[in-house]
Amino acid sequence: MCVGLPTETVYGLAGDGLNPSAVARIFEIKKRPAFDPLILHVASIAGLSRVAASVPEQARLLIGHYWPGPLTVVLPRTAEVPDLVTSGLDTVAVRCPAHPVARRLLELFGGPLAAPSANPFGRLSPTTAGAVEEELGAALALVLDGGPCAMGIESTIIDCSEGEPVLLRHGAISLEDIEAVVGGVRISTDGEKIKAPGLLSHHYAPRTPLWLWEGSLGESPQLDNRTGLLAWNRAPRHPGPVRVLTPGSDPREAAANLFTHLRELDAAGVSRIVAETVPTGGLGRAIADRLQKASSGVIRSRNGILQEIPR
């Protein structure tokens, strides 16, 4: 049985993480390729010993600081973790969510829950129970409604399996906040990310093609009403639908709004979404990363002519 589960980052599609047929059902519902491993969610640090063969010092420090919370650590796995969870890797990704509903379910269940974001593979992550219901409701036993996700962007993933911590995915805890605990962290290169193919490809995407605007939309170009705009902190004059990520120029507010605003623009019947460049300090980096992966490329105006440059 699989359920929609609220967490503080995004909603998850949760099932028994140690039961191969439940895990297989998650892959099936999500239409996720079997080479893309899942995160196991645990109720507490105590739950780690069943799934992680060892916990290096740096991982201990990070966990001590940020659990429960939006931090996923990649650690050497135990034999009890089904191969399907890790896609055959000898490491496992683990996180301890802070959301009270997720915590309660984990405590009642008494074991780890595998939970990818509750969206069809490659699509926008859901940040409300309604969005889960809409996309995957028919396949789920139930969707637990824990309200809108406070953070709205996925957990930060740090690989600690080889001693020196490596950042695999920018997320709800900024690089600066990770480095405040363990010092300099290496950021994995795309080549290394082949280890976790889900981190690589076209991802987090709306159905409508999304293009990144070079610079600010302030002196808005000749975009027509068939274009939806995702602006950073103020709405430019524009004949089509506009969403502003953060009127207060606060990256946390922007992260919380990101997937909801993209979902709304996607539903607005436009033929193209154009996103303004976001400042990349703190959580801005995770937002920019999501937009980049969701995008078809860059759009710009040259001598009054719009040019789309596919990536």
Cα dihedral 17, 21, 23, 28, rounded to 10, equals -170
Please work out the total of residues on this chain that contact ligand TXA, with binding judged by CB under 6 A: 28
Binders in 246-265 for ligand TXA, by CB under 6 A = none
Tokens of 298: 């860059």
**Interface positions, 188-207, toward ligand TXA (CB under 6 A):** 195-196, 198-199
Q: Which of 47, 112, 116, 251 binds ligand TXA (CB under 6 A)?
A: 116
> 296 touches which of ligand TXA, Mg ion, none (CB within 5 to 8 A by kind)?
none
- Separation between Cα atoms, residue 91 and residue 75, nearest integer Å: 5
Residue 303 burial by Cβ neighbours in a 10 Å radius (0-12, 13-18, 19+): exposed
Residue 101: partners with Cβ closer than 8 Å, 6 or more residues away: 5, 6, 144, 146
The residues that touch Mg ion, with contacts defined as CB under 5 A, are 117
End-to-end CA, the chain: 39
In the complex, least distance from residue 117 CB atom to Mg ion, rounded to whole angstroms: 3
CB of 243 to ligand TXA, least distance (A): 22
x-or-dash pattern for ligand TXA, window 96-115, by CB under 6 A?
-------------------x
9 binds ligand TXA (CB under 6 A): yes
Q: What, of ligand TXA, Mg ion, none, does residue 155 touch, CB below 5 to 8 Å by kind?
A: ligand TXA
Contact 167, 188 (CB under 8 A): yes
Residue with Cβ nearer ligand TXA (96 or 217): 96
User: Burial, 24: exposed, middle or buried (Cβ in 10 Å; 0-12, 13-18, 19+)?
Assistant: middle
- Residue of 133, 154, 266, 276 interacting with ligand TXA (CB under 6 A): 154
Question: Taking the complex as a whole, how short is the minimal distance between the CB of residue 80 and ligand TXA, in angstroms?
Answer: 15
Q: Is 39 in the site for ligand TXA (CB under 6 A)?
A: yes
36 binds ligand TXA (CB under 6 A): yes
Check residue 296 for interaction with ligand TXA (CB under 6 A). Answer: no
H helix and E strand count, the chain: 8, 16
Task: Tell me whether residue 171 or residue 241 sits nearer to Mg ion (CB atom).
Answer: 171
Q: How far is the CB of 77 from Mg ion (least distance, A)?
A: 20
Question: At residue 295, what is the residue type?
Answer: S
Question: Is-contact 229 223, C-beta < 8 A?
Answer: yes
Asked whether position 71 contacts ligand TXA by CB under 6 A, the answer is no
Sheet holding 113-114, edge to edge: 142-143, 3-5, 12-16, 113-114, 39-41, 91-95, 71-76, 156-159, 166-169, 186-187
Residue 305: count of CB within 10 angstroms of its CB? 9
Nearer to ligand TXA, 98 or 210 (CB): 98
Cα 16 from chain centroid? 21
Q: Rule CB under 6 A: which of 158-187 touch ligand TXA? A: 168
Interface with ligand TXA by CB under 6 A: which residues? 7, 9-10, 12, 36-39, 70, 72, 74, 86, 89, 91-93, 95, 115-117, 154-155, 157, 168, 195-196, 198-199
